[in-house]
Amino acid sequence: MLERYFQPESLMMTHGYKPELSEGAIKCPIFQTSTFVFKNAEEGKAFFQVAYGKREKEPNEELGLIYSRLNNPDLQILEERLCLWDKADECAVFESGMSAISTVMLEFLRPGDMMLYSMPVYGGTDHFINKVLPQYNIQGVGFTSDQTTEEILDHIQSLGLSDKVKMVYVETPANPTNALFDLSVCRIVADRLSYGEKEVVVCVDNTYMGPLWQNPLQLGVDLVVYSATKYIGGHSDLIAGAVLGKTKYMKRVRTLRTFLGNMAGPWTGWLLMRSLETLKVRMTQQAKNALEVADFLKNHPKVEKVYYLGHLQEGDPQYIIFKKQHTCAGAMLSFDIKGGEKEAFLFLNNLKLIKLAVSLGSTESLAEHPATMTHLDVSEEDRKRLGISERLVRLSIGVEHYSDIIWDISQALDKV
Ligand SMILES: *Cc1c(COP(=O)(O)O)cnc(C)c1O
C-alpha cells in the first residue's frame, strides 16, 4: 500500500486520538479527572515501573494512565500534535510559557553555572535570569544580534567564565524590534564551550514565530520553548506553554515537570487542541495582513521607521539570516512614530478596532508601547542600545480584514 506523509495541518483534527476509546466521540473529550482506574494490581505495577524509569517501555506499549500530574489524554494527544509542526521527538505542555522556560533553566543549570542569553528577551524571562537565578548562584551574560561568534566567545573568556557556561538561550526574532539572531552562531558558540562530559545546550524561545514560520530544531538547536498563550492558543483566552526537543532532553524536562507539578490542566489541553485545528489558517491570514499593514506604514508621513522582517533588503546581513531561518515574515511588527511618547500615546488612545493590550499572536489585532509597558523593566541604557525608544509602537496583527486594520491605523495617525 502506498504510504502518504500528511502535512501537519491535515492531522490536527485526528492525530493521536482513538474514538473507540471514547464511545466513538469524534472529538477528544475533556478528561476532567485527577486519577485513572487500573484494571488490576499487576497493571498498576507495570504502569508505575515505566513512569518511574524502573524499566523501558515494550516496543508497542503505550504509557499507562496513572494520575493527571504525570499524564492525561488531553495533554498527551496535544503533545503528539505539537511535535508534528517542529518535527520534535517529544513535547511537554506547561501551565504557562514562563513555567516552560523556568523549568528548562532549572533542569539544565546548577549553582555555579552560567548561561548566555540573547538581548532583549521577554520581560518575564529577563526577570527570571537576572533576579531569580542569581539567588541560586546561576549567572546570565547577555549578547546582542550584532556580535560575532568570536566577539561572544572573547567576552566570556575575558570574564573567566568559559568553563561555567551550560546553556545558550535565544529569542529570535527579538521582541519588539524583530532583530534576528543567527542560530548557527549560537550552535557554534555552544559547541566551542562544550568538552568531555560538559554539554552546552541551545534553547530557543520560538513564540514570536510560532511553530509555522521557524523550526529551530531543524536548524541544530536542542530545545524549543513556547508561550502557547500566543499563536498556538491564538484566541487570547488561555495561558499555557510548551517545550519540545529530543527524547534525551525531554525526559529530564518531563521529570522535573512531574515534580514541580506545573503541567497544564485537561481543560487548557482541550482548548489548545481546538486551537491547533486552525493554527495554519489563522497564522497564514495574520501574516498576509501584516504585509499589507507594513507596506501602508512604510509610506506614511507620520511614521519614521518600520521594523518588519518582510522589508529586509538583500545585502543586509539580517536578510541572510531571515532567508536561512524563516519561511515567512510573520505577523509582528513595530514602528517609530514621528515625535515621542506623547505622539505614540495619542496614536494608541485613538485606535477604535485594534485593542490596546500586551500579548500577541491572537485573532484580534493588538497594539502597545514597549518602552512604558512590556519593556519598562529594561534599563534605560539597554533600551537605547536595543532601539526601544519612546517613539516605538508594537503591533500584533490579527485575522480581521486588512483594510479595516489599515483604516484604524490611518485614522489614529491622523489624530496625532
Ligand atoms: C508571552 C511570552 C512569554 C511568557 O509566556 P506566558 O504564557 O505569558 O507565561 C515568553 N516568551 C515570549 C517571547 C512571550 O511573548
Q: Which residue has the cell 489614529?
A: 412
Query: Quick check: 137 and 85 in contact, CB under 8 A?
Result: no
Which residue in 245, 248, 330, 231 sits closest to 287, CA to CA?
330
Largest CA distance in the chain: 74
Q: What is the CATH number of the domain that holds 176?
A: 3.40.640.10
pLDDT, position 379: 84
Do 217 and 345 lie in one domain? The reply is: no
* CA pair distance 332, 308, nearest whole angstrom: 7
* CB-CB neighbours of 12 under 10 Å: 20
For a pocket test of ligand 1, which of 127, 227, 262, 263 has the largest count of ligand atoms closer than 8 A to its C-beta? 227
Same domain for 87 and 182, yes or no, is: yes
Atom of ligand 1 nearest to the CA of 175: 13
- Give the model's pLDDT for residue 1: 63
97 C-alpha to ligand 1 centroid (Å)? 5
229 close to ligand 1 (CB < 6 Angstrom): yes
Question: Which of 77, 60, 71, 75 is CA-nearest to residue 14?
Answer: 77
Q: Are residues 198 and 264 in the same domain?
A: yes
Q: Is the peptide bond before 266 cis (omega within 30 degrees of 0)?
A: no
Note whether residue 295 is domain-resident: yes
Residue 308 sits in the same domain as residue 368: yes
Does residue 92 share a domain with residue 235?
yes
Residue 34 lies in a domain: no
**Do residues 309 and 327 touch, judged by C-beta distance below 8 A?**
no
- 21 found inside a domain: no
Of the candidates 151, 215, 142, 207, which has an alpha carbon nearest to the alpha carbon of residue 183?
Answer: 215
- The verdict on 208 and 307 lying in the same domain is no
Single residue among 276, 306, 335 that ends a domain in this structure: 276
How far is residue 148 CA from its own chain's centroid?
Answer: 24
pTM: 0.96
Q: How close is the Cα of 288 to the center of ligand 1, in Å? A: 23
* Ligand 1 centroid from CA 410, angstroms: 29
Q: Do 384 and 406 sit in the same domain of this protein? A: yes
Are the beta carbons of 226 and 97 closer than 8 angstroms?
yes
CA of 396 to the centre of ligand 1 (A): 14
**Total number of domains in the chain:** 2
Instruction: Examine residue 222 and state whether it is found in any structural domain, yes or no.
Output: yes
- Does the Cβ of 94 fall within 6 Å of ligand 1? no
Q: Which atom of ligand 1 is nearest to the CA of 228?
A: 7
What is the C-alpha to C-alpha distance for residues 72 and 89, in angstroms, rounded to an integer?
A: 18
In a domain, residue 51? The reply is no
Beta pairing, strands 332-337 & 392-396: antiparallel
How distant is the alpha carbon of residue 329 from its chain centre?
16
- Report CA 376 to chain centroid distance, whole Å: 21
Ligand 1 within 6 A of 362 CB? Answer: no
Q: Ligand 1 centre from 365 Cα, in Å? A: 17
Q: How far is CA 345 from CA 298, 351, 396, 413, in A?
A: 20, 10, 17, 11
Q: Name the H helices within 193-306.
A: 210-213, 247-260, 266-277, 279-298
- Supply 200's cell numbers: 552546552
In this structure, are 240 and 352 located in the same domain? no
CATH value at residue 371: 3.90.1150.10
Return the residue matching grid coordinates 495541518: 9
Q: Does residue 124 share a domain with residue 211? A: yes
| Beta strands at 90-94 and 114-118: parallel, antiparallel or unpaired | unpaired
Q: 236 C-alpha to center of ligand 1: Å?
A: 13
| pLDDT per residue as tens, the chain (416 positions) | 678 999 999 999 999 999 999 999 999 999 999 999 999 999 999 999 988 888 888 888 877 999 999 999 999 999 999 999 999 999 999 999 999 999 999 999 999 999 999 998 998 999 999 999 999 999 999 999 999 999 999 999 999 999 999 999 999 999 888 999 999 999 999 999 999 999 999 999 999 999 999 999 999 999 999 999 999 999 999 999 999 999 999 999 999 999 999 999 999 999 999 999 999 999 999 999 999 999 999 999 999 999 999 999 999 999 999 999 999 999 999 999 999 999 999 999 999 999 999 999 999 999 999 999 999 888 888 888 888 999 999 999 999 999 999 999 999 999 99
Is 162 inside a domain boundary? yes
DSSP states along 163-180:
GGEEEEEEESSPTTT---
Q: Are residues 95 and 243 in the same domain?
A: yes
Same structural domain, 296 and 223: no
Are 371 and 308 contained in the same domain?
A: yes
Ligand 1 centre from 15 Cα, in Å?
A: 27
Residue 196 lies in domain:
68-276
Nearest to 90 by CA among 210, 243, 203: 243
Residue pair 97/241 in contact (Cβ under 8 Å)? The answer is yes
CA–CA gap between residue 18 and residue 27 (Å, rounded)? 9
Decide whether any atom of ligand 1 lies within 6 Å of the 227 Cβ: yes
Sign of torsion, CA 152 157 159 161? positive
Task: Give the domain-ending residue among 276, 291, 318.
Answer: 276
Q: 390 alpha carbon to ligand 1 midpoint, in Å?
A: 23
Q: Which of 245, 276, 307 is the last residue of a domain?
A: 276
Q: What is the DSSP letter of 56?
A: P
Examine residue 54 and state whether it is found in any structural domain, yes or no.
no
| Lookup result for grid cell 524499566 | 55
CA atoms of 217 and 311, how far apart (whole Å): 26
Task: Determine the pLDDT at residue 382.
Answer: 86
Pick from 230, 332, 377 the residue to mutate for probing ligand 1's pocket: most ligand atoms within 8 Å of its CB. 230
Mutate to test the pocket of ligand 1, among 229, 359, 394 (most ligand atoms within 8 A of CB): 229
Residue 283 lies in a domain: yes
